């Protein structure tokens, strides 16, 4: 038997304000994308949540050609959780956005940190080679809470065909 979904606390954002559960237009730029947050029902517990986006794309700001990355976002939630549909829409908004690998990775980390105010956040951007050089970019906010298990990001370094 299907369980009834848990209602959001009355003090939280209303469901109508969220992108979750309704049709929304794809944002055409990261600036226009909205990141939603919901209350963390385990806010008194230190733990890590992970989002993985293995097919992230952005455009080279010089050539306009696509760049591809495998993003891994780990965060120790504070009072808020990052709502995954809004993250998906935000990340998709980079598909027509021109920015260097470093800028994309760090900007995503900073935007998420500003939206959900985590106890700690790190992002690893594992970019596929263009011009024969892969660029991996890492950014984090401070140090992780003591005693929290932080798993490796487990993204293999680029090794070419050998």
Write out pLDDT tens, residues 45-104: 999 999 999 999 999 999 999 999 999 999 999 999 999 999 999 999 999 999 999 999
Beta bridge partners of 56: 69
The domain 41-141: what is its CATH number?
Answer: 3.30.1130.10
101-159 pLDDT, tens digit each: 999 999 999 999 999 999 999 999 999 998 888 899 999 999 999 999 999 998 887 76
Burial class (CB in 10 A: 0-12, 13-18, 19+), 60: middle
CA atoms of 26 and 16, how far apart (whole Å): 17
Domain boundaries, the chain: 41-141
CA atoms of 48 and 118, how far apart (whole Å): 10
- Is the pTM above the cut of 0.95? no
- Those residues whose C-beta lies under 8 Å from the C-beta of residue 95, and which sit 6 or more positions away, are 57, 58, 59
pLDDT band for position 161 (50/70/90)?
Answer: very low
Q: Which residues are catalytic?
A: 60, 67
pLDDT at 156: 81
């Amino acid at each position: 038997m299907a369980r009834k979904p848990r209602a959001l606390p009355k003090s939280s954002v209303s469901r109508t304000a969220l992108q979750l559960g309704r049709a929304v237009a794809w944002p055409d730029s990261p600036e226009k994308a909205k990141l939603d947050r919901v209350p963390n029902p385990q806010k008194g517990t230190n733990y890590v949540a992970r989002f993985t986006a293995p097919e992230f794309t952005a455009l080279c700001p010089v050539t306009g050609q696509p760049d591809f990355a495998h993003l891994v976002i780990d965060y120790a939630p504070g009072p808020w959780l990052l709502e995954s549909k809004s993250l998906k829409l935000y990340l998709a908004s980079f598909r027509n956005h021109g920015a260097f690998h470093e800028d994309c990775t760090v900007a995503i980390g900073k935007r998420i940190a500003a939206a959900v105010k985590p106890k700690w956040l790190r992002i690893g951007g594992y970019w596929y080679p263009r011009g024969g050089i892969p660029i991996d970019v890492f950014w984090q906010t401070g140090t992780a809470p003591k005693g929290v298990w932080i798993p490796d990001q487990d993204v293999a370094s680029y090794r070419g065909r050998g």
